[in-house]
Amino acid sequence: MPKTSYKHYRRRTGDRSDGRLLRSLSGFELFIPYVMAQRNDALNFFSENVEITEADRWLRKQRVNGYKGMGFLHVLIAAYIRAVAKYPAMNRFISGRHYYARNDIEVVMTVKKTMELGAPETTIKLHFNPSDTVYDVYHKMNDALSEVKGHTDDNGTEAFANAMKKLPRPVFRMIIGLLKIMDYFGWLKKEWMEVSPFHGSMVITDLGSLGIRPVFHHIYNFGNVPVFLAFGAKRKAYEVTRTGTVEQRKYLDFNLTLDERICDGHYMASAVKFFKTAVADPTTLETPPEEVNEDVF
């Protein structure tokens, strides 16, 4: 088992069902959410790419070894989990102008029940631990996708949306306003947030499956998601080496939209660089991390 700096923690007044209140931050940090009150006031946009020649070979080997369908979606999620294990502030969120450390790692995805143009979309939420490996990601994701595609009934998110659409618009607006107030004060039930695609650690979208480049996706003001990751199709590039020869290499482009309030720029940049290193070398994601860092208290 990986070493962890986790201390036994008992829930206290001010904590939420999805996270614990951070009480030791500096006055300047606590000041920021009052200046940038909305998530869309505080967006940072990262446009990055990672060289994946070796990672692509690793994935082909995994598929030969029985991990059917394993792809860069699994690797990117596993790399994000590993980055959170090392840089836990990336899993913070701000609600009601307070900082919280999230209790677990929640990744939200939008999936189509079938790959037809008019097929309905739904969302799934995957729960991970900081010690999870790429194989844990693979199995948890496959289980969730099998459950969605194996059932024709609406899941919790769809059922809620379908119930709401039957209401008159003023009532609809009133209910949404009430939910925002409850979320501000941390009064939403855990069961309600579980079906909400607006509450979680990160939203990820695979635009490579559509054969297009990644977009810069906004982060929602409602809820508390601080990270949106979009990645595109693999691309090839021919590059001149130091010896003067030309080699073909593969790259994966991805865009990150981040709530800059959750941590400082140096911390965020370090986490993104670590994330890129893990994507380029998925062998580091085969086993749990040696150490899992806990956020401040």
pLDDT single digits (tens) 278-295: 999 999 999 999 999 999
Does residue 41 carry a pLDDT above 80? yes
Indicate if the pLDDT at residue 193 is higher than 80. yes
Rounded distance between C-alpha atoms, residue 69 and residue 140, angstroms: 13
Confidence band for 272, pLDDT divided at 50, 70 and 90: very high
pLDDT of residue 199: 96
Token output for 223: 């809820």
Per-chain mean pLDDT for the chain: 91
Residue 7: pLDDT band with limits 50, 70, 90: low
Averaged over 140-156, what is the pLDDT? 78
Residue range 195-206: mean pLDDT, rounded: 95
pLDDT at position 5 is 45
Distance separating alpha carbons of residues 205 and 89, to the nearest angstrom:
22
Is 0.85 topped by the overall pTM?
A: yes
Look at the domain 39-288 and name its fold: Chloramphenicol Acetyltransferase (3.30.559)
Q: What is the pLDDT of residue 151?
A: 64
Q: How does residue 113 score in pLDDT terms, banded at 50, 70 and 90?
A: low
Average pLDDT estimate for 138-165 = 79
What would the pLDDT profile of 125-139 be if each residue is shown by its tens digit?
999 999 999 999 999
Query: Of the candidates 253, 252, 251, 250, which has an alpha carbon nearest to the alpha carbon of residue 215?
Result: 253
Exposed e or buried b for every residue in 270-282, given b needs 16+ CB within 10 A?
bbbebbbebbbeb
pLDDT band at 114 (very low <50, low <70, confident <90, very high): low
CA distance 21 to 93: 10
Bridge partners of 206, per DSSP, are: 231
Q: Report how far residue 19's alpha carbon sits from residue 104's, in angstroms, rounded to the nearest whole number.
A: 8
| Cα–Cα distances in angstroms (integers) from residue 142 to residues 117, 137, 155, 231, in the given order | 22, 8, 17, 20
What per-residue confidence (pLDDT) applies to 92? 97
Contacts of 69 (CB under 8 A, 6+ apart): 63, 142
pLDDT classification of 2: cutoffs 50, 70, 90: low
CA dist 224 and 96 (Å) reads 10
